[in-house]
Amino acid sequence: MARGLCFRFICSRFRSRKIIYFISVIIATIYMISDLSYIHQNVETISLSQPNEGSVLHKTSRENFTTKELRYPHVTNKSTTVTEGIHVDWRIGVEKKFPWVIRQKYLVNYYIYIARTLNAEHERYKSASLVFLHHNKAAGTTVKTCLSVLASAETLRVGPVMASQTRVSFHTSEVRRNRYANSRIFMGGYSFGVCDELNLTDRSCSYFTFLRDPYERIISSYEYCKRARSDQLCSALNANEVTLKQWAKHQGNFFFRQLLFEPGFCQRHYDSFIDIDSELHDDKWSSRNKGSLSCWFREKLILQNLTTITDRKLLLWYALDKLTSWFAVIGLAEEYELSMQLLEGAYGLPFNKMCGRMKRNYNLYQQSNETDSTKTQTVMEMKNELMADNDVKETLYYDLQIYEKAKDIFRQQKESYFELHGEHNRQ
């Protein structure tokens, strides 16, 4: 009898745990469905008046997206099939509402996905066209100089530098795109998305970029723009007439917007989406001549008008999720020499050999009469001032999040590189 009571007690406990487990699963499912419902309720495709002919603003690519995910699965965690399905679903929701952010042609991060595998994918990187997304004031000028040196030494054809108007003409002219179809190197601040527009049949297309601490980048651009008023980076507002904090709010999340770039934002037929009076700007600009504004500033104003805070957070999550897919290599300005080693290992070109010792051109805030120690102290004081301001921190939130993710990606790249090439390559 004691055995019978004991057996019934155990079965009762087992059934209770089973019931609790199934109830937990049901509750979790209800929460996930409600989250998806919220996303789908907020993913109506944005319709822009007078879209550029042939613009990607109204094109979706759900089939291409799904195929790409099968080839390069999301591997940030060991999720269950259900969780992965939901993860893919919210990304499709973002792409439905903001179809121009879809990038179809790229090579995934070499060190995270490819370097430690034994397959033919390695050769695609060695022969690929390279597109350098120049993030202003993050060693970009040095990298562009390096690419020019490499192109000359390796006899590689270089395409046009992707400034705003060059990018627009490249986007709208098939003749111009075909003219540079054999180019191996492209570069510029408006270059993201070029791979989708190149008519490549015999090779792949690959992006790489360099990032920098957003606070330090803001300080560098502030001091630089006090002297370089004609640069497109500096023309929307006179840095000599505003404080550092005002400048930080003016430039905002610069790299985040570079990832969301669409050539149509540079064109006049989007002027109706620009409210110039909502932003601090140079007095020479008004509603009558806003068509001449720098493209990056136009994009900032357009996105402010087209998106809500919730939209921008979804776009941030999307960008963070895609970083290791979009960029074959992510370099850091603070780790310039090692970044050159990573590029050399991925692409098989002598980046480090020819450019590893080049002077990094991102300390332009150093005055000619300052010593290194004085400059360092000045920069730290300016950085501390920005970091202590909650408004500035909120303004730069998206770039700060991307930079933190980029540092983690760089760590993974570095570990993979030294695992393959040995610890003796550490500097």
Is residue 238 domain-shared with residue 369, that is, in the same domain?
yes
Cα-based distances in Å from 141 to 123, 149, 363: 28, 12, 12
pLDDT digits (tens, 9 = 90+) for 46-71: 433 333 333 333 333 323 323 233 22
How many domains in the chain? 2
Q: pTM, whole model, 2 decimals?
A: 0.78
| Whether residue 131 sits in one domain with residue 65 | no
Q: What is the pLDDT of residues 330-356, one digit of tens each?
A: 999 999 999 999 999 999 999 999 998
CB 196 within 8 A of CB 105: yes
Q: How far apart are CA 250 and CA 230, in angstroms?
A: 17
The answer to whether residues 379 and 315 belong to one domain is: yes
Same domain, 95 and 117: no
Q: What single string gives the DSSP state of each residue in 345-400? A: HHH-S-HHHHHTTSPPTT-TT--TT--HHHHHHHHHHHHHHHHT-HHHHHHTHHHH
Q: Output the furthest CA–CA distance in the chain (Å, rounded).
A: 96
Provide the token pair at 312: 């921008």
As a whole number of Å, the CA-based R_g of the chain is 25
DSSP conformational letter for 46: P
Interacting residues of 179 by C-beta distance below 8 A, sequence separation 6+: none
Instruction: Indicate if 97 and 114 belong to the same structural domain.
Output: no
Residues 311 and 278 in one domain: yes
Is 84 within a domain?
A: yes
Model confidence over 368-380: pLDDT tens digits? 445 566 777 889 9
Q: Considering the domain boundaries, does residue 15 fall inside one?
A: no
Q: Which residue type occupies 225?
A: C
Ranges of the chain whose pLDDT falls below 70: 1-88, 278, 280-291, 359-373, 423-427
Torsion over CA: 350, 353, 354, 357 (sign): positive
CATH of the domain at 208: 3.40.50
Residue at a domain's end among 102, 123, 139: 102
Residue 310 and residue 163 share a domain: yes
Name the residue range of residue 201's domain.
110-425
